Amino acid sequence: MNRHIITLLLLICCICLEAQNTISIRDSYNAETTGDYSRALDVMIKLATADANDEFYQLRLGWLYYMMQDYASAFNHYQKSNTLVANLDAQLGMLNCHLALGKWNDALALAHNILKQYPQHTTVMSKAAYASYMKQDYKDAADYYQRVLKINQWDMDTLGYLVANLYLSNQLTEAKQHFQKLKKYYPASAIITDYGKYLN
């Protein structure tokens, strides 16, 4: 009888130890919630090592590397996720990595490809506008912002960016028209202060 009890207790201890050693994606989320990205990443690396072809694990690795500002590693994992199963989340992650790395041409090329499939995606348009602005291609940036405003006409931040890029691309008549609209509906915009002396 004692031998059976000891065997049963050993079995229970082994099960408890095994349960303690088992990691799950929840552990990664919990670590991320507390701001411990390193621990969240370690958990995901273990999970992805056990299942390297899981597109979501690769996507999550991309996110965590991005949050840790390791944009090259983030890009690689987003790209792997997208290769396993083409998905918009991975493509947006890749786009964000290009922007974070200052790869404006790559960002624009990827944004252009995403917009072929999702032509109404205003976030992608705004990111393309930002890349164009950083390349000092203000006309192209203004064109993207105008596309956003055709979909979200009352997005006042975008209207402000449009005004700035119209001015910088020497499209002064249009810049003044949009400036007046911005001044009327969003007078607290920093663009009003920054460009008022040129466009009033």
| Cα separation values, 182 from 19, 34, 100, 170, 176, Å | 59, 40, 29, 18, 10
Q: Residue 22: which pLDDT band, with cuts at 50, 70 and 90?
A: confident
Residue 92 contacts residue 62 (beta carbons within 8 Å): no
Q: What is the pTM of this model?
A: 0.86
83 and 107 fall within a common domain: no
Q: Is 6 a residue whose pLDDT tops 80?
A: no
Predicted confidence at residue 10, as pLDDT, reads 52
* 92 and 146 share one domain: no
27-64 residue pLDDT tens: 999 999 999 999 999 999 999 999 999 999 999 999 99
Note the pLDDT of residue 153.
Answer: 95
Q: What pLDDT score does 8 carry?
A: 53
User: What is the CB neighbour count within 10 angstroms for residue 56?
Assistant: 17
Evaluate if residue 199 carries a pLDDT over 90.
yes
User: Residue 19 has what pLDDT?
Assistant: 42
Contact (Cβ atoms closer than 8 angstroms) between residue 167 and residue 182:
no
| pLDDT tens per residue across span 82-131 | 999 999 999 999 999 999 999 999 999 999 999 999 999 999 999 999 99
Do 93 and 155 fall within a single domain?
no
Domain extent for 38: 1-101
Judge if 2 and 97 occupy the same domain.
Answer: yes
Q: What is the CATH number of the domain that holds 177?
A: 1.25.40.10
Torsion of CA 73, 75, 78, 82, to 10 degrees: -130
Average pLDDT of the chain?
Answer: 93
Share of the chain above pLDDT 90, in %: 88
Q: Residue 54: its pLDDT value, please?
A: 96
Q: What is the pLDDT of residue 114?
A: 98
- pLDDT at residue 13, as a whole number: 45
Same domain, 119 and 196: yes
9: pLDDT confidence band, cut at 50, 70 and 90?
low
116 and 54 housed in the same domain: no
User: Looking at the structure, do residues 70 and 23 belong to the same domain, yes or no?
Assistant: yes
Number of domains present in the structure of the chain: 2
Q: Are 158 and 88 part of one and the same domain?
A: no
Domain end call among 71, 86, 101: 101
pLDDT-based confidence at 1, cuts 50/70/90?
low
Q: Do residues 94 and 180 both lie within one domain?
A: no
pLDDT at 4 exceeding the cut of 60: no
